[in-house]
Every structure is written in C-alpha cells, then in structure tokens.
Amino acid sequence: MAGIYIHVPFCRQRCLYCDFFSTTQLRQHKEDYLSAISREMELRRNYLGGETIQTLYLGGGTPSLLAAADLERLFKTLDHIFPIAHDAEVTMEANPDDLTPAYLRTLRALPVNRLSIGIQSFDDEELRFLHRRHDSRRAIEALEACREAGFENLSIDLIFGLPGQALARWASNLKEALRLDVPHISAYGLTYEKHTTLYRLLQAGRLQAVDEALFLEMFSLLMERMETAGYEHYEISNFARPGRRSRHNSSYWTGDKYLGLGPAAHSYDGGSRQWNVSALLPYLSGMAEAKPVFEKEILTPQSLYNDYVLTRLRRCEGISPTDLVIRFGKGALSYCMEQAAPYLKRGLLTEKGGTLHLTREGIFLADEVISDLLWLDSATKPEV
Ligand code: SF4
C-alpha cells in the first residue's frame, strides 16, 4: 500500500497560528508551480517502486484555491504516471469560502471523493481572532453545499484552547459540530509555533495562553462528547464514525510508503525519509533544472523504532508486543516494557488484550509518556 501527498503552497491570507509552508502569491506562481509538480512526478515516478497508490491527498496551503481545470491537469498527470487503485481515497483540503455549489459540482467530476474542511471554529469572534477568511454561517453553508453536491465523506478541523476561550465556548463549538453530524473530526489544541504571529503576540505579552487545567478540561470534554456521540477516538486528535477513518493519515501511522510532491512535502520509502525545500522559488528552479532541492535522512533502527512507538501509541490500536518483536527483536520489547513500567504503575499506560495503550489520563500526558519510551542514545540501546 502506498500514498501520494501533494502540497499546494498557496493561501489567500495567512492565519495567525499557522506554520505550514504557504505563500499568498498564487497568481504570480501558479503556472510554474503546476509545471513543477508535473515535472516532479516524472522525475520521481519510481520512488514508490511501482506500488499501487491507495490514497491521494491534496494538502496545503489551500488546495481549493486551484481552479477545477488546474486540478484536472494534476489528476491527469498523476493517472498517466502512477498506478492508482480504482477505489483510492482521494482527499482534498478546502477552505469553506471556496466551497461554492458551482465549484463543488466541478470537483464531483474529478477523482476527489473526500473533503477535509478547515473550519476551526463555529464562533465568529474566534474565527476573526485566528484570522480565518470565513465566518460560521459560511462554514455551515459549505457543509450543506458539500452534501448537496454528493460529498458524504467529509472531515472538519477544529481548534480548542484559544486565549481567553471559556469551556462553555468550546462546548458550543462541539455542539455545533455534532449537530452537523460530520463523519470525521480532527480537533487540535492550539499550539504556539515559532515564526507565527501568534507566537510573537505571546512573547510580547499581548495575549495569554489558556492555563493547563482548562486545556485538559477542554480535551476531556472533547473525548466525552465524541464518545457519547458514537465517534471512534482512533488517534489522539482524530475521531471518526465507523468506517470513516482517514485512510491516508492512517497509512502514515502504520508505516506505509508515501511520495510527497511540492515544496515542503515529505516522502518515506521504508528505509529513508526526505523532505523538499520549504521555499517556492528554490523548489521551482530545482524542478526546472531537473535537480530537486531536498534533504534526506537514512533511517536507522533507532529512528524506525522511535517512529513506531510514537505513531502506535498515538493510535487506539497501541503497541502489539508480537509485532514489536517481529520488527525490532526481543531486546526492543524488553526495553519498551522496562520504560513503560512506571507509567503502567501510574495508570497512564495499560495493557489491554496483550497490547500497550495510553489510558485516558495518559492521553493528556502523551508527550511525556511517549518520549520516555523512545530509544534516545547508545546507552539505552535495545539489543535487536
Ligand atoms: S491554516 Fe490553512 S489557510 Fe491558514 S495559513 Fe495555514 S495553510 Fe493557509
């Protein structure tokens, strides 16, 4: 199983909190970008060793800024170069503002069969603070328009823990999301990433982060409400109706190969990871000269083990000892269980049906627990 990710690095405006790579210069660079992506597909056609593509994901940036004709061109090239499964999951990220009935009709004629919509909040004041370009009414209309156009496989993103956000406000956001009955919800606590306006405002003392206790209450409320509504909490930040998990993101977490196209896109081929330059002009000139600009890391048993522990513990399936031994040997299992012991005792980890999982309390402290299970240096090297 393999996937392809295409990074569309254009946004109409930059949101306050975002550290994804994107530029607002769509008009100036769109044509060169589309040519460069096609060129990259040609240059890297063998990266996945001819494996059939089961998932395609257009992320960004804002892929919904591309016109239907641009998307059609991308899909045609993809189809020409890669073997794509007839039932592939094809996700496109979209901004609610772009999802007009006319645009959605054109999308229906393309291979897109799943939309991931950056709603973030149903509260207009919060949306203004985040510097989003839609309001809550537009978000609701966009969801209705998606359904009318025949898109049922929908996901929305929500953010909680905004400065000054009260628990009741988060609760009403969740209520609205549940009323709209979207089959997949990704909910993230707001983080203050360096190089964002949000981070600079925090550093300048112009806003205050929510305190940890309130943040945890919000997370707890999220889990409770989603569980009561029948969603499966299948990854720390992701909830799905049965059968509606994101196949693309799940394949990242289970270690499948993927090819990332476009500036800042990451790729993984089972033995190494590489990432394209996070700047548009070097990306474009690299592709024009058939000399892609990227960095590459050959994965050691240590980094493979660490990725495995990190991604498995974030998922509801947890770590299976049998699988861990098959992949990394008995030494790795003993090491993992030794590191896990204090957390099992504190009730942050549990062994259910022979597999190791984060408990509900453990989910709140996931970073701490996971980092202690990682293989950090040669002094703690498991014998594999
Ligand atoms: S959150 Fe999305 S729309 Fe906003 S700047 Fe980031 S990529 Fe662009």
Q: What is the mean pLDDT of the chain?
A: 95
- Compute the average pLDDT of residues 146-174: 98
Give the residue with greater pLDDT, 1 vs 139. Answer: 139
For residue range 248-287, list pLDDT tens digits in order.
999 988 889 999 999 999 999 999 999 999 999 999 999 9
Mutate to test the pocket of ligand 1, among 20, 92, 119, 132 (most ligand atoms within 8 A of CB): 20
Domain 2-252 CATH superfamily: Aldolase class I (3.20.20.70)
For residue range 3-41, list pLDDT tens digits in order.
999 999 999 999 999 999 999 999 999 999 999 999 999
Residue 245 vs residues 5, 139, 184, 255, 316: alpha-carbon distances, Å? 17, 22, 7, 16, 12
Q: Which pLDDT value is given to residue 378? A: 54
Residue nearest to atom 4 of ligand 1 (CA): 15
Interatomic CA distance for residues 58 and 205, integer angstroms = 36
Question: Got the DSSP string for 240-256?
Answer: E-TT-S-HHHHHHHTT-
- Which atom of ligand 1 approaches the CA of 118 most closely? 2
For residue range 81-94, list pLDDT tens digits in order.
999 999 999 999 99
22 lines ligand 1 (CB under 6 A): yes
- Judged against a pLDDT cut of 60, whether residue 379 lies above it is answered with no
The CA 120 to ligand 1 mean position distance, Å, reads 11
- Judged against a pLDDT cut of 90, whether residue 157 lies above it is answered with yes
- Judged against a pLDDT cut of 60, whether residue 95 lies above it is answered with yes
Interatomic CA distance for residues 329 and 321, integer angstroms = 10
Q: Are 302 and 375 in contact (CB under 8 A)?
A: yes
Question: Regarding the domain delimited by 302-380, which CATH topology (the fold level of the hierarchy) does it fall under?
Answer: Arc Repressor Mutant, subunit A (1.10.10)
116 lines ligand 1 (CB under 6 A): no
Interatomic CA distance for residues 155 and 183, integer angstroms = 6
- Compute the average pLDDT of residues 310-325: 94
For residue range 34-71, list pLDDT tens digits in order.
999 999 999 999 999 999 999 999 999 999 999 999 99
Provide the pairing of β-strand 257-261 with 238-240.
unpaired
pTM, 2 dp: 0.95
The CA 140 to ligand 1 mean position distance, Å, reads 19
Give the DSSP H or E segment for 356. strand 355-358
- Judged against a pLDDT cut of 90, whether residue 341 lies above it is answered with yes
Q: Which pLDDT value is given to residue 377? A: 65
Provide the pairing of β-strand 184-189 with 238-240.
antiparallel
Q: Angle at CA 295, nearest 5°, toward 261 and 20? A: 55
- Judged against a pLDDT cut of 70, whether residue 107 lies above it is answered with yes
The domain spans of the chain are 2-252, 302-380
